[in-house]
Structure 1
Amino acid sequence: MLSITKEFRFSASHQLDHLRSGHPCGRLHGHNYVVVLELSAAPEDLSLPGFVRDYGDLSAFQKWVDETLDHRHLNDVLDGVNPSAENIAMWLHERWVKEFPELTAVRVSETPKTWATYRPSPALGDASL
């Protein structure tokens, strides 16, 4: 299996629900988010130039991030989903896997030292993964 990754950045605010009283993430605050998309393919599935996916194809994701997430309040954007890094990673994967079927993982960072990764479970009975 071969994988490629590309990093994207945006700034946004959020406020997390269901936390203990006084938890700092329960207050309105913001982050400079980093999102990494991982796309994978078997060697026999590479495109003719030898790509998992042309990095240029990912410009659609950057445009969408700029228009949809950058300088927004994520509680409004995610519509009913508590915008933790874990939920954001899963939400992004669900929205983009149809456009990029090679998408195998989404990583989201809120701080330079913290990351959440969503990697969907292989389909039951799929021994190739």
Structure 2
Amino acid sequence: MFRISKEFHFSASHQLTHLPDDHQCARLHGHNYIVVVELASATLNDDGFVRDYHELKPLKTYIDDTFDHRHLNDVMEGHSTAENMARHFFDWCKARWPETSAVKVSETPKTWAEFRP
């Protein structure tokens, strides 16, 4: 299996209002997010790629236009956790690139959430 991945960055605020008031994530705060999309295929195309990285530019545009420097509670349905964001970006990517195999989202340098069916 061949696997490729590409990393995207954005900054945004959010608030997990369903958590107890004394939980740090219940307060308004922000992160510098990293999103990594992974694509996998047993075969390569005629150019020797799983998919040309340039074809992933629509994800950058989507992130920049919809998420960057936004309040995630205003742009996402449900809780704006890294886990839910990973699933959201996976579904968005899979609808465009069938080779999508996983998406990871980081809120901090030490934390990652991944959605991989």
Which residue of structure 1 aligns with residue 38 of structure 2?
Answer: 38
Which residue of structure 1 aligns with residue 3 of structure 2?
Answer: 3
Following superposition, which runs of at least 4 residues in structure 1 exceed 4 angstroms of deviation? Answer: none
Larger radius of gyration between Structure 1 and Structure 2 = 1
Structure 1 Cα separation of the partners of residues 113 and 90 of structure 2? 13
Query: Which TM-score applies when normalising by structure 2?
Result: 0.96
Any gaps of 5 or more consecutive residues in structure 2? Answer: none
Which one of the candidate residues 61, 82, 89 is aligned to 1:92? Answer: 89
Aligned Cα RMSD in Å?
A: 0.9
Which segment is superposed worse, 108-117 or 93-102? Answer: 93-102
Which residue of structure 2 aligns with residue 127 of structure 1?
Answer: none
The aligned amino acid for 1:25 is: C
Any gaps of 5 or more consecutive residues in structure 1? Answer: 121-129
Query: Which TM-score applies when normalising by structure 1?
Result: 0.87
Structure 1 Cα separation of the partners of residues 5 and 92 of structure 2? 17
